[in-house]
Amino acid sequence: MEENEKKLNFLEEIIEDDLRTGKVPSILTRFPPEPNGYLHLGHAKSLCINFGLAMKYGGKTNLRYDDTNPVKEDTEYVDAIKEDIKWLGFQWEKECYASDYFDQLYAWAEQLIERGLAYVDDQTQEEISKGRGTVDKPGLESPYRNRSVEENLRLFREMRDGKYADGEKVLRAKIDMAHPNMMMRDPLLYRIKHASHHRTGDKWCIYPMYDFTHGQCDSIEHITHSICTLEFDVHRPLYDWFIETLGIYPSHQYEFARLNLTYTLMSKRKLLELVQKGLVAGWDDPRMPTLCGVRRRGYTADALKMFCDKIGVSKRDQLMDIQLLEWCVRQDLNARANRYMVVQDPLKVKITNWPEGLVEWYDCPLNPAEPEGATRKVPFTGELWIERADFMEDAPNKFFRLKPDGEVRLKYTYIIKCEKVVKDAEGNIVELECSYDPTTKPGGGEWRSVKGTIHWVSCAHAKELELRNYDRLFTLADMSQVPEDKDYKDYLNPESLVMGRGLAEPALLDDASGIAVQFERTGYYVKDADSTPEKPVFNKTVSLKDSYKPE
């Protein structure tokens, strides 16, 4: 196999087969979100698969809102979903709504009634579920199952016209109450819901069920490959039954494993609860696995796509390591992020032999991978901030940063030597007096090397930052394993946000890259929209290094 020739995944095999045999002339996929929440990393996987396959095989992808539950849905979500898809860099062919097809779906329901394949059931929700039977026990037929076509038509129209209250009646397909697949035991087609819909307003008080909607919408749009997550495989016979019975365009459903990630969860219901209870700052809190959350965290669209490519498409559910995603973010930012020096836990260094008032300005590369590329101006003076952790009074031999009588290189400039440690009355170190060696300036004089290099910021030029250091949202790796007597909220990480402070070189505030930057030697950070000119705010995207290596 060629190096760049990856083995086809099972969906690619199916599509290549369908194109080769002429089963379909070209492919059309769809992404079908329910507008009841914001998109999360799991949706990114689905988006990458649906749009990725269409792009690879010269096809197209529709965006279809699966908006059949008016109670939970909202235009806020409709708009946010579009923004997130565009951010990932995908362009849909048509923007569709299941609700666009309500008239057609209704007509098909009447058609099934007329053909004796659907009936109005007056049983309660509980009676219906009880009557379904179990996997090893056939269900019981409803006492209303053999109503006449005329009666069914009249009742169904009365349901539509608002004559009945929620839950009073439902429309069911008449299939087989003893079918080995429970989904086929007279599934519900319509329920009564007196609720305003975000698009159809009060036109309808009956709404079609998922199973009676999804396949037919696919068929109306001539979707060739309807790709969904594994839990829908038991729905497939029903999907096919409606299409075959109605004799409409034969879309086909295929299932792949949903994405689960360590230390987070992807249930919209639970994410909504975190937002509503104020346990996070909103859907776009940088700790959330939502696309708007990770975007605010500084994750890039390219990193997410790299991650989706690495995890591939499988037919078996698995828990992916969040470290792989973080690794992808690091890979992408390492190549692209601009570099700046920021000190987080400052210790003052006074350079005693530096000419009073002198400021040297250096042109430093924004990205070391492009030494001839763009630069930023960094000021150097006789008073600097360094990280407290870069100095040690009783240092072991292996400590190559600053120590009494020791030397260290200041990144981009001179070697300095620690001459004196200044302490306050309590014995705390408050300042270091150092000397600099004028012959050690890079590019000038003789090159002399020392083992350690540290970052620094000129005190007079330092800009103060608010730092929001984010960590994992939950403390439990596999959030599907929350014990019975516990709640998932018991596992919220109390240290998922640690506030900090930074002293930055001035060029940072003029950064116009629009993506996260690297604070040299510490991590990647991204400017937050909460920033003001007086107080810039930076969110921690990911640490600079990690021992993790992908397989």
**Which residues contact residue 20 at a Cβ distance below 8 angstroms, ignoring those fewer than 6 apart?**
none
| 268 vs 330 by CB, closer to ligand ATP | 268
Cα–Cα distance measured from residue 470 to residue 358, given in angstroms and rounded to the nearest whole number: 38
| 231 vs 464 by CB, closer to Mg ion | 231
Q: Which partner, Mg ion, ligand ATP, none, binds residue 45 by CB below 5 to 8 Å per kind?
A: ligand ATP
Shortest Å distance, C-beta 329 to ligand ATP: 19
Q: Are 70 and 195 in contact (CB under 8 A)?
A: yes
| 125 vs 267 by CB, closer to ligand ATP | 267
Question: Rounded to the nearest 5°, which phi and psi values hold at 61?
Answer: -135, 130
* Catalytic residue selected from 12, 34, 360, 466: 34
Shortest Å distance, C-beta 55 to Mg ion: 24
Whether 258 is a known active-site residue: answer: yes
**Which residues contact residue 226 at a Cβ distance below 8 angstroms, ignoring those fewer than 6 apart?**
29, 30, 214, 215, 218, 239, 251, 252, 253, 254
Whether 172 is a known active-site residue: answer: no
Shortest Å distance, C-beta 462 to ligand ATP: 44
Distances (CA, A) of 63 to 28, 82, 187, 419, 471: 11, 9, 27, 67, 33
Shortest Å distance, C-beta 351 to ligand ATP: 55
> Per-residue b/e over 323-361, b at no fewer than 16 CB within 10 Å?
bbbbbbbbebbeebbbbbbbbbebbebbbeebeeeeeee
* Catalytic residue selected from 145, 154, 193, 258: 258
Q: Which of 220, 224, 222, 216 is nearest to 21 (CA)?
A: 224
Q: Which partner, ligand ATP, Mg ion, none, binds residue 221 by CB below 5 to 8 Å per kind?
A: none
Count CA atoms closer than 13 A to 131's CA, side-chain side: 21
Q: Are 338 and 525 in contact (CB under 8 A)?
A: no
Pairing of strands 453-454, 407-410: parallel
* Catalytic residue selected from 60, 169, 185, 268: 268
Shortest Å distance, C-beta 34 to Mg ion: 5
> Per-residue b/e over 474-484, b at no fewer than 16 CB within 10 Å?
bebeebeebee
Cα–Cα distance measured from residue 119 to residue 147, given in angstroms and rounded to the nearest whole number: 7
Q: Which residues sit opposite 64 in a β-bridge?
A: 96
| 12 vs 34 by CB, closer to Mg ion | 34
| 34 vs 240 by CB, closer to ligand ATP | 34
| 235 vs 540 by CB, closer to Mg ion | 235
Q: Are 192 and 168 in contact (CB under 8 A)?
A: yes
| 35 vs 286 by CB, closer to Mg ion | 35
Shortest Å distance, C-beta 551 to ligand ATP: 21
Enter the tokens of residue 206.
Answer: 């009956």
Q: Tell me, what amino acid is at 517?
A: V
Q: Which partner, Mg ion, ligand ATP, none, binds residue 266 by CB below 5 to 8 Å per kind?
A: ligand ATP
Q: Which partner, Mg ion, ligand ATP, none, binds residue 59 by CB below 5 to 8 Å per kind?
A: none
Q: Which residue is nearest to Mg ion (CB)?
A: 34
Q: Which residue is nearest to ligand ATP (CB)?
A: 42
Q: Which partner, ligand ATP, Mg ion, none, binds residue 301 by CB below 5 to 8 Å per kind?
A: none
Enter the tokens of residue 2.
Answer: 């060629």
The residue whose two tokens read 């439902």 is: 170
Q: Which partner, ligand ATP, Mg ion, none, binds residue 401 by CB below 5 to 8 Å per kind?
A: none
Shortest Å distance, C-beta 492 to ligand ATP: 18
Binding residues for Mg ion, rule: CB under 5 A, are 34
Residues making up the chain, counted from first to last? 551
Q: Which partner, ligand ATP, Mg ion, none, binds residue 289 by CB below 5 to 8 Å per kind?
A: none
Binding residues for ligand ATP, rule: CB under 6 A, are 32-34, 42-43, 45-46, 66, 228-229, 258-259, 266-268
Whether 168 is a known active-site residue: answer: no
Catalytic residues: 34, 258, 268
